[in-house]
Chain A
């Protein structure tokens, strides 16, 4: 009996390891070339594998991961990354950050689509309600937590998200996906691509999404967050030979999303006003990559963007942005040298119809130029690499910034990687912080308002400096672990000090925006990827985050520091399971959890608890024939309906995040 169990245990162990150690491996490597061409793939390559040689806390989301996440919106896909905090506000709005300081206008994360930043200068953040790219057109998303300013520039403070679209040569033919779900959710995506000649391919996609309003959390009645979002995206790739190519993109988006905002009004009342938000943007971008005779790789990218935002009754902005970006790379001896120059001019013109918000300057032109250089120097081939980099940026608003970084990566064996990174990163004050004066809160009692005032001090860039360590290992060919720890110091962080007291009515306490806050952020992240069986994969991610702000003499700065500390969940994580039942059937499950935290209950000054949660998403996909697939998915299937976030700066009425079910058909032709 014991013997049998020993044998069984051996078998199971061999299965657990994805079957490389010992005799299982022999089966694969004894296969002849002919056998290999006939073997079916039961589990696709893990993109996380690609990171063994990256000296940063990096994570790659593949197009397969996106499809199997069951998510309809980009922020929901990002939930799988350890250390990325995603909180849904309503049908379209999300608060997304890396390693702390989350907010509706979270402002320390850089997000790029094919190398162009989608970071909005008014808020210093990303408007996630705006679909910038269809999930179906994404090849992969590379997420780097931690400072990336030495290459990516100002605002790549606590993370960089790089979205890379599919090459048009990969997307020939037609594809249509329709989605119908609860809460009136409808989705349509269509794509067609082809080749103009041997060297030129193109692809055009359209996407539309609709959702009926969510329910208000407090009352259960309809909110105003009806979502309508459309997107047109085109890409053309032309190969010039000799290592040169040309790519052109055109992207146009329109979206409308309602909002129910709690506005403080006299005397001491709150008016829930609905305000429809309309966004539009057009982007034209081109990239030329070439190779010189000496072997220097160059890439020149130009993009033109015109966009508008309207928050009905409060705010309207038109903006034009020009971006020019050059990057060069030369690999010689033990060096891999990367350098670049960039320039951005962004001109905006804004109006604020109501009395809630006022602007110091209605027309603003911001010019930012930067240069960077980065060298990865192999000290011991295959073992030890040193990376040194620095970037300098200058803007006409906020002055100059300097961001150095140093990394060391040691690979003691084929499967182990240890890395350390030191970096500094600046964040330029947003135009909002420089410009916007706004009534935000009541003081207790209701008759006294708080007004946040811009322009009483000239703002500098926020600074961050920190150290992180990481370790990656492959325990067996089917089991990978990636861990990182970090500690960052933030200084000159933008907050607000107690200002003038204006006796009313209305009585107003002014808070002056300033570079007056500082603090520490520490954390640890773990991800594990386990191919349990050839057809079954488990992925775990976990993050622990802690913010400690310095004690401040000023009461307002002190209070803001305490709010910041309390509004970060200490723990969040997820466990994903991907099971290929058969070549034509997949069953996926995703358990997600977050600790609770406190948020300011704007427009009041008390704090409310955002409870922790544990929830489950399920997805079942069935291929009917070669070209048709039907997918049934459910999100937030367990646990009570909840709030994930309470919006403070623009005090939207919290809505329920609850269970939803979708049916999609995917047809290729």
Chain B
């Protein structure tokens, strides 16, 4: 009897949860901001050309780890023919292996110092604060109109010896340093 009740209440609970969930876009709408940020980082690897072909593509996460958990599912996958790696980094010595460096917005005070560490290295710098591209960073993920968009600083991208694809340029919300 008890088992039956349990099973019945379990089913009721499931039905309740089902009733609560927006059916039409069940999984497609899993657009948590952090998941979107992680998806952007992986995508940028496909839309930028690095001067040297490497067998691996490494996303380095600086400072307080904000996206590690969201990037974990992508780890070891093949992205544009390269195996994806995720690393946490804390200092200048660890920048050599990075293709992409993510500096979270709460490290705003350290933008200048960290950008100096990757000066003249072929590293694409990304942050999630709007002011990042104006501080010399390459790409800023920006929350605008309820969506996550990005700004790109072409001067910073080419100074790092990287080539952004035309599609990347076209999709950017703001292109910094383009006309000057």
Contacts and interface: CB of A to CB of B under 8 A. Distances in A.
Q: Is the interface of A mostly helix, strand, loop or mixed?
A: mixed
A5 interface: yes
B94 interface: yes
Centre residue among B18, B47, B72, B112 by max chain A CB count within 10 A: B112
Interface in B6-45: 11, 14, 17-18, 20-22, 26-37, 39-40, 42-44
A8 B23 CA distance: 12
Given A8-B14, A29-B39, A382 B93 contact: no
Name B's interface SS. helix
A44 B94 CA distance: 30
Given A24-B30, A534-B29, A477 B147 contact: no
A86 B42 CA distance: 43
B148 A414 contact: no
A360 interface: no
Interface in A319-344: 329, 331-336
A127 interface: no
Nearest to A42: B31
A2 to B, nearest CB: 10
A414 B171 CA distance: 31
Contacts of A50: 64-66, 104, 106
A336 B31 contact: no
A11 B26 contact: yes
A43 B31 CA distance: 7
B91 A535 contact: no
Contact of B91 (A5, A23, A336): A336
B68 interface: yes
How extensive is the interface on chain B, given as a class? Answer: 35 or more
A37 B147 contact: yes
A31 B27 contact: no
A39 interface: yes
B82 interface: no
Interface in A25-55: 25, 27-29, 31-34, 36-47, 49-54
Contacts of A169: 130-131, 134
A533 to B, nearest CB: 6
**Most chain-A Cβ atoms within 10 A of its Cβ — which of B32, B146, B168?**
B32
A516 interface: no
B55 interface: no
B159 to A, nearest CB: 14
A308 B97 CA distance: 56
A243 B70 contact: no
Contacts of B131: 167, 169-170
Interface string B43-71: 11011000000000000000111111111
B109 A36 contact: no
A297 interface: yes
Interface in A1-35: 5, 8-9, 11-12, 14-16, 18-21, 23-25, 27-29, 31-34
Contact of B33 (A9, A15, A31, A43): A43
A243 B111 contact: yes
Nearest to A60: B106
A378 interface: yes
Contacts of A299: 109
Contacts of B173: 37
A295 B119 CA distance: 12
Contact of A19 (B27, B39, B65, B106): B27
A331 B117 CA distance: 10
Given A33-B47, A244-B112, A534-B32, A53 B65 contact: yes
Nearest to B37: A45
Contacts of B149: 37
Interface residue range, chain A:
35 or more
A534 B146 CA distance: 14
Contact of B72 (A31, A289, A376, A414): A414
A415 interface: yes
Contacts of A27: 27-28, 30
Contacts of B87: 381-382
Interface in A213-261: 239, 242-245
Given A41-B143, A336-B91, A531 B32 contact: yes
A604 B46 CA distance: 74
Contacts of B11: 5
A68 interface: no
B150 A25 contact: no
B135 interface: yes
B32 A25 contact: no
Given A170-B130, A331-B113, A40 B104 contact: no
A504 B55 CA distance: 91
Contact of B171 (A34, A41, A54): A34
Contacts of B67: 49
A655 B43 CA distance: 58
Contacts of B37: 45
A332 B33 contact: no
B171 A37 contact: yes
Contacts of B135: 239
A536 B128 CA distance: 23
A478 interface: yes
Contacts of A52: 64-66, 68-69
B92 interface: yes
A28 B36 contact: yes
A249 to B, nearest CB: 16
B97 to A, nearest CB: 11
A474 interface: yes
B14 A5 contact: yes
- Sorted from nearest, which 6 A-B pairs have the closest CB atoms? A243-B112, A19-B30, A24-B27, A45-B33, A331-B91, A52-B65
Interface of B: 11, 14, 17-18, 20-22, 26-37, 39-40, 42-44, 46-47, 63-75, 86-88, 90-94, 104, 106, 108-113, 115-117, 128, 130-131, 134-135, 143, 146-150, 167-168, 171, 173
Interface of A: 5, 8-9, 11-12, 14-16, 18-21, 23-25, 27-29, 31-34, 36-47, 49-54, 140, 167, 169-170, 239, 242-245, 289, 291, 295, 297, 299, 329, 331-336, 376, 378, 381-382, 411, 414-415, 474, 477-478, 531, 533-536, 583
Given A28-B39, A29-B73, A42-B32, 11 more contacts: A9-B14, A11-B18, A15-B27, A16-B17, A43-B31, A45-B33, A140-B106, A243-B111, A378-B91, A415-B69, A474-B69
8 contacts: A11-B26, A36-B40, A36-B43, A41-B36, A42-B31, A45-B128, A53-B88, A382-B87
